[in-house]
Amino acid sequence: MRADVTVCGLGYVGLALAQQMSTSGMVVIGYDVDPVVTAELAAGRSHIDDVLDDDLTAMSIAGFTVSSDPAALGASDAVVICVPTPLDAEGAPDLGAVRSAAAAVGARLRPGMLVVLESTSFPGTTDEVVRPILEQTSGLTAGVDFHLAFSPERIDPGNRVRTMAKTPKVVGGYTPGCRTRAIELYGRFVEKVVRARGTREAEMAKLLENTYRHVNIALVNEMAIFCHRFGIDIWDVVDCAATKPFGFEPFRPGPGVGGHCIPVDPHYLAFKARSVGLESTLIDAAERINAGMPAYVVQRCADLLRTHGGELAGAHVLLLGVTYKPNIRDVRMSPAYDVVRDLRARGARVSYHDPFTPRFTVDGEPVPATADLTAALRAADLSLLLQDHTAHQPEVLTAHARLLFDARGVLAHAGDPHVEVL
């Protein structure tokens, strides 16, 4: 079967991309190395928040097919690579999936094809990692025999307003001709395409976007620590500062950062900086602050218990929300993992309530889940609000929790003596 485009990697980025392309009238093939993923999708069952089962049905009607056969990578005139780029055990970039995908695409590359990398990585990845693999495997030359480009993903899980079609798409090509070909592809389903000078500029733009968030979150987290020590309400401080109509963008503190971008992308930039002898001083400082927030939250919980005559060791702590964002089921790199580890290390008994996450396992050990929020609040020695899901109604929390630590500022102005806020 011939198609307009093949999407390589059907995770949070790839499947959402395939859905938007399909909705726009394109015939799309979805390829993933995991046969379980493709089997579930073929059966009409989605594994991500932004693509519903009904969406898969509509996509299928429009011609969308899925496959774990690498031959699918040669069945279109364009291939978009959307594979994971995690960190390895030492915190360095792991481009194993990108290299494997590039080799698989290269083995099926034909003259005139377009290959686009969307996986986030350090500047130079498209040219220095992907291009040589494609050329060596295929015997073709980028910019002459085939087109090569980079376009950073801008997926915001759970955002129903800023959809992919309404979010400007940055595109950088290996050559101007490559960029033009890629712009033609994205222009079919995105309202605005932004031309980057080249692939490195497009790659760097993605890292700047998320490093900006990482650093500013670290700043407000450090402000929260300062304000607590000085007896100042950080939430009121942020609300007041946010009224300034210029020169200030409000960020709010929390128990740490999570998800597929902010905890990872700055590491790619820092890695690239070190490779040329530069120090990423600000990025490294932001990482230390944000990575330390789970332990800070646990210490505040211990202090709250001690104030009321209790101890963390042996206490039953209920976590409210374990995902990294509100009202989604995505737990990738959620700060809840480190919170659980620290609580367990200090002898606490941990359970959780999260209507979006039926199972939550930390270091191979499941965290007990409870469906009855009211009963769970009453049973716990201390409840810890880690994520502000709409299911966690403030009036329910304050009415039934024995002690409550709010790490998200939902109850910032409640004035309740048994509630403490970050």
Residues involved in catalysis: 261
Burial-class residue 368 by CB neighbours within 10 Å (0-12, 13-18, 19+): exposed
For 141, which DSSP code? -
Q: Which amino acid is at 214?
A: H
Residue indicated by tokens 């960029």 = 179
227: enclosing H helix or E strand: helix 199-230
Integer angstrom CA distances of residue 386 from 123, 255, 328, 344: 34, 7, 14, 16
- The pair of three-digit structure tokens given for residue 319, joined into one six-digit string: 């976590």
What secondary structure, in 3-state letters, does 13-82 show?
CHHHHHHHHHHCCCCEEEECCCHHHHHHHHCCCCCCCCCCHHHHHHHHHCCCEEECCHHHHHCECEEEEC
- The pair of three-digit structure tokens given for residue 19, joined into one six-digit string: 């859905």
Kindly provide the b/e burial profile for residues 174-212, where b requires at least 16 CB atoms within 10 angstroms of the residue's own CB: bbeebbebbbebbeebbeebeebebbbebbbbbbebbbe
In 10 A of CB 70, how many CB atoms?
16
Residue indicated by tokens 């390589």 = 8
| Alpha-carbon 390 to chain mean position | 20
- The pair of three-digit structure tokens given for residue 170, joined into one six-digit string: 């940055």
